[in-house]
Amino acid sequence: MTCATVFNCETLVQQPSSSITFGVASLHLHDSHWCHMSEYVYRVDTETGLKKIHDRHFRARRWMGNDSYSFPHVVLKQLNVTLPASDGLYRICFYTSLARAKQSLNDDFSYLGLSRILRCPKNLVLSRGFFESWDDGFKEGDAYLFWIQEALSGENSNFSSTGIPFEHFEILNQERWHPLLEYYREMVSVNNMTAIPAESVRHTALTAEKRSWWKFWFLSNR
């Protein structure tokens, strides 16, 4: 799915929902013209995960509907009914507020190694062609689900061809926002990663299995 302000207006007034039609599936979404929870959307990433993104773009994971990465989002299940065999659906999620991202950082990422909160202007996500709704794997208002439909090719079998460049993101470090691209360059230039004992990896895996929906969201976002 902020700077210091969580809400951009004093009173939150919801207008009638909009409707987007794909084939015979009509999807009712919250109207993008009413006051959103913030002008930024947020995600949490481990530094290890960030180092693996060599093209410096966040891309949406393909939603198959029948694998461990595919939480049964209602909006995507409806789209999938009429999805041509030549196309794929891709989804990526963001928290709606800094406070919710901090909660996830503390609750879900504490044992996964050094992790950071990132933010990006929401309108830049939408400008890449993504549609939005609430992420129904969370309490409504906690996270956005962004998705896009693409023609399948050899380059997007797992992740979307459409991506959000690093230069649109900032990273929170010592309670200050810094350009992600600069932080990334410094991070990958210092190879200070140490080997993790096998028993530690096993313990982490067992602990992760006890987690609920968040693990779908974390594992399915690059």
Q: Whole-model pTM above 0.85?
A: no
- Is the CB of residue 159 less than 8 Å from the CB of residue 89? no
Provide mean pLDDT across the span 24-39. Answer: 42
Q: Greater confidence, 105 or 34?
A: 105
136-194, pLDDT tens digit by residue? 999 999 999 999 999 999 999 999 999 999 999 999 999 999 999 999 988 887 654 44
Residue 61 has pLDDT above 80, yes or no: yes
| Residue 51: count of CB within 10 angstroms of its CB | 14
Q: Write the CB contacts of 218 (distance below 8 Å, at least 6 apart in sequence).
A: 44, 108, 109
Q: What is the pLDDT of residue 69?
A: 66
Q: Write the CB contacts of 1 (distance below 8 Å, at least 6 apart in sequence).
A: 41, 42, 43, 93, 94, 95, 96, 122, 135, 143, 144, 146
Give the span between the Cα atoms of 132 and 60, in whole angstroms: 13
pLDDT tier at 72 (50, 70, 90 boundaries)? confident
pLDDT tier at 55 (50, 70, 90 boundaries)? very high
pLDDT tier at 122 (50, 70, 90 boundaries)? very high
Q: Greater confidence, 17 or 155?
A: 155
- Is the CB of residue 105 less than 8 Å from the CB of residue 44? yes
Q: Rounded mean pLDDT of the chain?
A: 76
pLDDT tier at 65 (50, 70, 90 boundaries)? confident
H or E element that contains 75 = helix 74-81
- Is the CB of residue 20 less than 8 Å from the CB of residue 126? no
Closest CA to 32 of 154, 149, 146: 146
Q: What is the pLDDT of residue 110?
A: 87
3: which 2 tokens? Answer: 């700077």
